[in-house]
A and B are shown apart, each in its own frame.
Chain A
Amino acid sequence: MEVTIPTENNGTSWKGGNEKPLGASYGKMMMWFFILSDALTFSGFLGAYGLMRFKFHDSWPIADEVFTHFPFLHGFHAPMYYVALMTFILIFSSVTMVLAVDAGHQMNKKKVTFYMLLTILGGAIFLGSQAWEWKNFINGTYGAVKLNDGKIIQFVDATGEQISLESFVKPLHSERTQHTANKGLWFVEEAELPPFTLNEVVESFKANPGISIRTELINPETKAKTIIPHSEAMGFLNEAKSVVMGANLRENEYGKTLFANFFFFITGFHGFHVLSGVIINIIIFFNVIIGTYERRGHYEMVEKVGLYWHFVDLVWVFVFTFFYLV
């Protein structure tokens, strides 16, 4: 594969000479071992996620109810479709990458350039899709109420379908004093205002006998969240502390905050890998164009970045399974 300067090697050279015990060049072998260590890092994260998931096995958010958006389909319940699309984008960019490697073996500069470009585009589209997914998750869909002990209460209609706060909460007139530095604690910032106050939510709930609440607890028989009848709901709402819209590192309208934490951390870490993959791909794309590898006599660099790119795809296959399917 490589153009190496013939050196004399009688097998006793400390420099190793041209011996390649694993049959791969130094760079490729090290890429494999980097991938191995990175795979173990990701399995550590996914393992920690698994631990927490088993720990809260009876009250973990159901992914189908969390990720339900699809571009241009507002209000349409579309679980999984979007993330399936993202998976296809990434798998397809893997295909163009391996086609670039294949063209590199045939020293076909034009084809390598074209397929590298497609790979970069695929990676960029994936990153954009992930940003959109994050945006929806952060903004939230329905809104919920958090209890004093941190549990999340969601609202459902008579059929058990989750409903948004906007659909039933009527604004009440109330006066509110804004917190400024000269009133009370100067170092305390005013918390961000939810679109509805807790009082408005509770009062509107009382006024609507048709709606009810849902706790995080999963019924093992039906694998659905437990619905509390309207008559018993006030026991829960008397404990209510705040209105939650969307998800962040501190609270999550879909349920456990840990779910949001792991989602942001693991998909973020993966997204960061995709980003660095795209950047490395761009560097190598320009190297291909200016003919660096043509002059070097081989396209092994494309092969090495290809390994990394496929690994990123491989990680996504597992993230997809553990966050969206299982």
Chain B
Amino acid sequence: MTHAQEHNSHTKLIWKVFAILSVITIVEVALGIIKPDALYLTKILGTSPLNIIFLVLTVVKAYYITWFFMHMADEKKNLRRAVVWTSVFLIIFLATLLLIEGSYINDVLGPLTKWNY
């Protein structure tokens, strides 16, 4: 069991990543509760700036979990690419098509929905 000495503890890094994830979550929750009008009621890229912020923060969190908790950073480049690129490409592909379809249905269906009685 000579390899036991090869690994030095990453405890410090782990707590640092935990701090980063916590701060991001707190920021998300605070924004979600306050919902500042300037971010919530304005529109950018088809949605509110607040939603864009949430999405970006979520991806940042996903990055920290995958890279440092799941030790993706220590894997070989080939394995990393096989997993990360595949998922990123397919998820973006799927989400784009579905969301475009969804808003198309909304455009067609919305005016036909009765809201006055």
Residues of B within 8 A of A (CB): 1, 3-4, 7, 9-11, 14-15, 18, 21-22, 25-26, 28-29, 32-33, 35, 40-41, 51, 54-55, 58, 61-62, 65-66, 68-71, 75-76, 78-79, 82-83, 86-87, 90-91, 94-95, 98-99, 101-103, 105-106, 109-110, 113-117
Q: Which of A48, A80, A92, A311 contacts B32 (CB 8 A)?
A: A80
Stretch at the interface among A51-59, A125-133, A165-173, A182-190: A51-59
The 8 Å CB contact of A313, one of B22, B65, B82, B105, is B65
Contact check, A223 vs B32: say whether CB atoms are below 8 A apart: no
Residues of A within 8 A of B4 (CB): 105-107
3 shortest interchain CB distances as A-B pairs: A54-B102, A23-B76, A105-B7
**Can you give 27 contacting A-B residue pairs, CB < 8 Å?**
A22-B79, A24-B75, A35-B83, A40-B90, A40-B91, A43-B87, A43-B94, A48-B98, A55-B105, A57-B102, A57-B106, A57-B110, A58-B106, A58-B110, A64-B32, A64-B35, A80-B32, A84-B25, A92-B18, A99-B14, A102-B14, A107-B4, A307-B70, A314-B62, A321-B54, A324-B32, A325-B28
Q: How many residues of A contact B (CB 8 A)?
A: 73
The chain A residues found within 8 Å of chain B, CB to CB, are 1, 21-24, 29, 32-33, 35-36, 39-40, 43-44, 46-48, 50-59, 64, 79-81, 84, 87-88, 91-92, 94-95, 97-99, 101-102, 105-107, 147, 149, 215, 217, 221-223, 226, 235-236, 238-239, 297-298, 303, 306-307, 310-311, 313-314, 317-318, 321, 324-326
Docked Cα-Cα span, A23 to B116, in Å, equals: 64
Inter-chain CA distance A290–B9, complex, in Å, is: 24
Contacts of B83 in A (CB 8 A): 32-33, 35-36
The listed residue (B102, B110, B114) touching A51 by CB distance below 8 A is B102
For B102, list chain A residues within 8 Å (CB).
Answer: 50-55, 57
Among residues of A, the one whose C-beta sits closest to the C-beta of B105 is A55
What CA separation (Å) do A21 and B18 show in the bound complex?
32
Q: Once the chains bind, are A91 and B22 in contact (CB under 8 Å)?
A: yes
Residues of A within 8 A of B21 (CB): 91
Q: Bound state CA distance, A22 and B14, in angstroms?
A: 25
Contact B94 A314 (CB under 8 A): no
Once the chains are docked, how many angstroms separate the CA of A80 from the CA of B54? Answer: 14
Most buried by B among A22, A36, A55, A147: A55
Residues of B near A318 (CB, < 8 A) are 58, 62
Per the bound structure, the CA–CA distance linking A302 and B4 in Å amounts to 15
Which chain B residues lie closer than 8 Å to A314 at the CB level?
A: 62, 65-66
